[in-house]
Structure 1
Amino acid sequence: MMAGSSARYDLESAAQSALFRLAAEYNQRAAGRLIHALQRRHASGVYGGDYEHKSIWDELCHDAQSGPHFHDHDPWDSILEALLQKEVERLTAAEFEALWLAAIPDVDDLTTALRDAGVIKEEFRSALLQRAGERNLERFEVW
């Protein structure tokens, strides 16, 4: 033991912190890939001529910032589900486990808890919607 060193390194706390940072980084990378995919899809025109949206990404940003506009059926669900599933399928088993562990709420027993991909999809979706909410959309408004 080193003299003057009274602080003990807490491996569990450090590992948990690293896991959360890794998950946040991966969620942002997934959001970037989702944005790229949405930018490549032409706008649906769901908002009419009031806005000059060029892509589905533009429309999703609009909805995130001034919506939601849809009550019965959210068209974003059907568009995003396939993209989110593709992102989950890209994960290795170790990446899946790490992201799931970082995202799950409290469970009674980690060894028997269901590894639900929906939890990871929701984290990816949250990261995507956060970026959609932060985007400047002034250039799309028609006045």
Structure 2
Amino acid sequence: MMAASSARYGLENAALSALVRLAAEYNQRAAGRIVHALQRQHASGVFGGDYDHKSLWDELCHDAQNGPHFEDDEPWDSILAPLLQKEVERLTAAEFEVLWLAAIPDVDDLATAFRDAGVIKEEFRSALLQRAGERNLERFEVW
């Protein structure tokens, strides 16, 4: 009986570890697609002539590293919301469940807990902002 218990414990830990790694991969893929979309949108010019930003991605990176520059996140929310929604809509039901399970806080009953897409969007946004915060922006400084 002891061997079966140890094997079960190992399987549960391995499954949880795999779930977390898979979710991290999906988060990074979604972030990559959002970066790609932002790179194709011209910069708004919100930071003026002190920087040579070419795209919204450049500006988001600048804001992530030097901001926030706005009193609230509304300007970025309005830009990112449709991109995050598109990424959630790409997911199959199984992918959605995996990402939700990896991201949820403790709940009383997993079987009846509401599967909130907002939790997944926040994970995608977090991966995106991590990339934005790590990007080297020296080439955009004009002065």
TM-score of the aligned structures, taking structure 2 as reference length: 0.93
Shift of 1:73: 5.1
Aligned to 2:99: 99
Give the drift of 1:59: 0.1
Q: Residue 56 of structure 1 corresponds to which residue in structure 2?
A: 56
CA deviations 1:81-132 (Å, max 9, x no partner) are 0000000000000000000000000000001110000000000000000000
Number of the residue aligned with 1:134: 134
Cα deviation, 1:54-103, whole Å, max 9, x if unaligned, reads 00000000000000000045311000000000000000000000000000
Aligned length: 138
For residues 1-143 of structure 1, what are the structure 2 equivalents within 5 Å?
8-9=6-7, 10-72=10-72, 74-143=74-143
Whole-Å Cα distance in 1 between the matches of residues 81 and 74 of structure 2?
Answer: 11
Unaligned stretches of 5+ residues in structure 1: none
> Where has structure 1 moved over 2 Å in runs of 4 or more?
none
Paired-residue identity, %: 84
Match of 2:44, SS state, is: coil
Question: Residues of 2 paired with 1:38 and 1:118: CA distance?
Answer: 21
| Counterpart code for 2:75 | P
Equivalents in 2 of 1:106, 1:51: separation in Å?
Answer: 43
What code does the residue aligned with 2:22 have? Answer: L
Where is the helix percentage greater, Structure 1 or Structure 2? Answer: 2
